[in-house]
Amino acid sequence: MARESIYRAKCGHEGCNEFARYTYSNRNELKRLDQTYGYGRYRCIRHSKPDEVLSPENLRRADEFSIFTEDYGRFWGKDQARSGFMHGPGFKAFVEDFPDGTVLRVTAEIILPSGEQSDG
């Protein structure tokens, strides 16, 4: 069995020091990792979708998932995300409990201490 090695990809966003670690065990895997993440192509969670990051300038986010039916079942979905069960802090939703057309709206909001203000 081949010995695994570590590939380290640094976030390509200027000034960011975050990095990801991936394992590989042969040259083909290393080449694929380098083509995918090398030369500044890797983005950390903060920089891959910056509009989703809560901050003093972005205190609230909401996202919606709708129920849809395919030949092999019913799902909550949006873009490529699909599941028959959605969950997060404080909620659980099973698709079979709701009719088609139902929308699940998930909201996250930051509430700053009194006296603190955002510039946004």
pLDDT bracket for residue 45 (50, 70, 90) = very high
CB 16 within 8 A of CB 50: no
**Integer Cα distance of 10 and 12 in angstroms:** 6
Mean pLDDT (the chain) is 91
Element (H, E) at 46: helix 45-48
pLDDT 10s digits, 59-102: 999 999 999 888 888 899 886 667 889 999 999 999 999 998 89
In a domain? residue 117: no
In a domain? residue 114: no
pTM for the full model?
A: 0.67
pLDDT of residue 24: 96
Strands 60-70, 73-78: parallel, antiparallel or unpaired by DSSP? antiparallel
Instruction: Identify the residue with better confidence: 82 or 56.
Output: 56
Residue 39 lies in domain: 5-48
pLDDT of residue 81: 60
pLDDT of residue 83: 84
Q: What is the torsion angle, in degrees rounded to the nearest 10, for the CA atoms of residue 94, residue 96, residue 102 and residue 107? A: 0
pLDDT bracket for residue 120 (50, 70, 90) = low
In a domain? residue 118: no
Query: Structural domain tally of the chain?
Result: 2
Is the domain of 64 the same as that of 100? yes
pLDDT of residue 69: 84
CA 10 to chain centre: 18
| Percentages of the chain per state (helix, strand, coil), in multiples of 5 | 20, 40, 40
SS3 75: strand
